Amino acid sequence: MKIPQKEASDVKEGGLYYGDYLQLSRILDAQKLESGQDGPVAHDEMLFIIVHQAYELWFKQILWEIDGALRIMNADQVEEKALGAAVAHLERIHRIQQVLLQQIDVMETMTPLDFLDFRDALVPASGFQSVQWRLIENRLGMRPGDRHAFTKAPYTSRLKGEDAKTVSESESEPNMFDLVASWLERTPFIRFGSFDFWHAYHEAVDTMLASDRKVIEDNPVLNDAEKEQQFGHLKRTADHFEALFDQERYNELVEAGQMRLSHDALQAALLIHLYRDEPILHLPFRLLHALVDIDEGFTTWRYRHALMVSRMIGTKIGTGGSSGHDYLRRSAEHNRVFGDLVNLSTFFIPRSDLPALPEDVAAELGFRWRGSQPGNASLG
């Protein structure tokens, strides 16, 4: 069946037109192939350009979502309704990351020989020069010293002057890590009424470790050597907790760069995770969970990128002058922002061992009604 097409005269004069709204004439004319300048056109260069342009468009959207979340978190008090919007921004970023990964699948339909048809024409351009990618890292909270460097030069050294300035200035702007850490430090429920979370949690951990020791001691299946091995594992676990409960020791870990969250912020993050089933803590839990998802998502994307580069160029040097696959692999392992939140599970204890909340605290965490007015308890 033939669908009748509207004549040009059917388009309302002065009305919004699809192609104009999306600026399609500019977007679809933005693919300039280098391979056709002095020789034959390499067919797969078009794919290479479009995939990377699509990356940059998604990076723009990610920055839009990060900036939306930053505006919400950059306040003296974050209301529950606003927190929900911040969570939505961050969860959308994680969905976009899945699209970024799928684009690698499309890119890998290009073979290494197809890439060699135009690779030399790209030198010295590389992903190092993506301003938006560097802004994403800095907006999330990556510090210059957190990066895996492949030269002694600053990471901005591959950027043009104005771009380098933009990226450098973003290091001193509000970032997600610092704002979330500050928000966590303001959490009111660590010591609330009759409830001292840290004291109750410490006692629960001691009980758990004592129980684990007894299980090892009474286990009839283990011989003496195996018991000693299990006791060694238990001691290492106890040492981790001991550093957590000794604030001076914990601060030394922060000074040494092994931890980044303050002691107060880490306590709050633990409380949110351990009591996440309480209604008022559910959104805060989703916020922290989304940050871990984003950290893991970019780590996965970096690693898939490294595998793709290895597949395409083997051990050759990258177009930007780095060690190609090796640099990208090390960056995937090293360049993380929310490592403290990722590793928080080290200090989790089973729900069955959690200290019961006093009735007055449970009432606040459960949005109970007070007379004719609902409770207004909120975090941060």
- To 5 degrees, how large is the angle CA 285–CA 372–CA 195? 45
pLDDT digits (tens, 9 = 90+) for 38-60: 889 999 999 999 999 999 999 99
Domain with 344, as residue range(s), is 42-193+253-374
Q: Give the pLDDT of residue 194.
A: 75
Q: Confirm whether 19 is domain-assigned.
A: no
Distances (CA, A) of 49 to 46, 54, 114, 226: 5, 9, 14, 58
- Please state whether the peptide bond connecting residue 188 to the residue before it is cis, i.e. omega within 30 degrees of 0: no
User: What CATH number did the domain enclosing 364 receive?
Assistant: 1.20.58.480
Q: Confirm whether 198 is domain-assigned.
A: no
Q: Confirm whether 240 is domain-assigned.
A: no
Token digits for 160?
């043009």
Q: Confirm whether 380 is domain-assigned.
A: no
pLDDT digits (tens, 9 = 90+) for 146-162: 876 666 778 888 889 99
Q: Are 358 and 195 in contact (CB under 8 A)?
A: yes
Q: Confirm whether 92 is domain-assigned.
A: yes
Q: Which residue has the higher pLDDT, 53 or 373?
A: 53
Tell me which residue has tokens 């800095």: 138
Total-model pTM: 0.85
Q: Which residue has the higher pLDDT, 108 or 360?
A: 108
Q: Confirm whether 132 is domain-assigned.
A: yes
pLDDT digits (tens, 9 = 90+) for 86-124: 999 999 999 999 999 999 999 999 999 999 999 988 888
Q: Give the pLDDT of residue 252.
A: 93
Q: Confirm whether 10 is domain-assigned.
A: no
Q: Confirm whether 200 is domain-assigned.
A: no
As for how many domains the chain has, the answer is 1
